[in-house]
Amino acid sequence: MGNVFARHVGKGWLALVFAFLYAPLLFMIVFSFNSTRQDAVFTGFSLRWYQALLDDSKIVNGFFVSLKVALATGVLSAVLGTLAAFVLVRYRRFWGRTLFSGMVNAPLVMPEVIIGLSLLLLMVGAQNVFGWPQRGMLTITLGHTLMGMAYAMVVVQSRLLEMDRRIEEAAMDLGARPHQVFFLVTLPNIAQAVLAAFLLSFTLSFDDVVISEFLSGPGVNTLPQVIFGYARRGINPTIYAAATILIVVVTTVIVSYAVWVARATRRREREMAAALKG
């Protein structure tokens, strides 16, 4: 009896947690189709705010800035994070390893305000001395890459730790050079983790507003910055429409990636089973 009661309490608590997390999103999606600016009364179905979204040049420009920055950040973070993870996993002892590991992991525990402020001081100092870089898309990308690389490294590192080293050793025994082993053996085996690192870094960059506030320049604002600026001035259903589109796109990408990973895993398991039988 006690176990049954505990299970029901656990399920009820879990349902309350999910309701707390997702009810606001559902509320926002519903009111993005509201015919008026009312935020508490649904007065009728309308697509006027989606039309207003397309006509809003600030949001449209902010979206493309965020997309470009997030794509560049995702690629750079995945590459640098993969290299950092490979060094930390495959080379256990080298001079400065502890310092290197601490520096790579520092952005994971450092407040974004501190990171943004320190990067701002660095960029301003470099601009005063060298005249470069100008605050804008480049500086935002560099700041986001600093954050994304740390998360990407953790994702790829976990996959490298699980990977069977005997595969790489067999390739070297057959005459493969170290760089050939990395590109032909190691990289294909960690490809899913690298893709996951890219998606995570892309999402973190697209969503970031703190570092972007410190590193953005005149006329260069990301979509979260634009939305945050609108939200400070009051209710604007155009923001609801933009957020709804983002939710739909992100959900589609996540579900597609999950389906792809599941299919790839099942295919690899079938190939391994067939190889063992053969």
Low-confidence ranges of the chain (pLDDT < 50): none
Residues 214 and 139 in one domain: yes
Number of structural domains (the chain) is: 2
**Domain annotation covers residue 197:** yes
Residues 7 and 135 in one domain: no
pLDDT value, residue 98: 85
Q: Which of 176, 198, 194, 219 is nearest to 65 (CA)?
A: 219
Residues 101 and 216 in one domain: yes
Residues 187 and 77 in one domain: yes
From residue 274, alpha-carbon distances to 40, 261, 271 in Å are 59, 20, 5
Residues 245 and 186 in one domain: no
Residues 80 and 193 in one domain: yes
Residue 155's domain comprises 55-235
Residues 183 and 264 in one domain: no
Give the Cα separation of 197 and 81 in Å (integer): 8
Instruction: Centre a 10 Å sphere on the Cβ of residue 106 and count the other Cβ atoms it contains.
Output: 12
189-202 pLDDT, tens digit per residue, is 888 889 889 988 99
Handedness of CA 99, 105, 109, 110 (dihedral sign): positive
pTM of the model: 0.81
Residues 16 and 113 in one domain: no
40: DSSP letter: S
Contact 145, 212 (CB under 8 A): no
Structure tokens that stand for 100 in this block: 């290197």
Residues 86 and 131 in one domain: yes
Tell me the CA end-to-end span of the chain in Å, nearest whole number. Answer: 51
CATH of the domain at 107: 1.10.3720.10
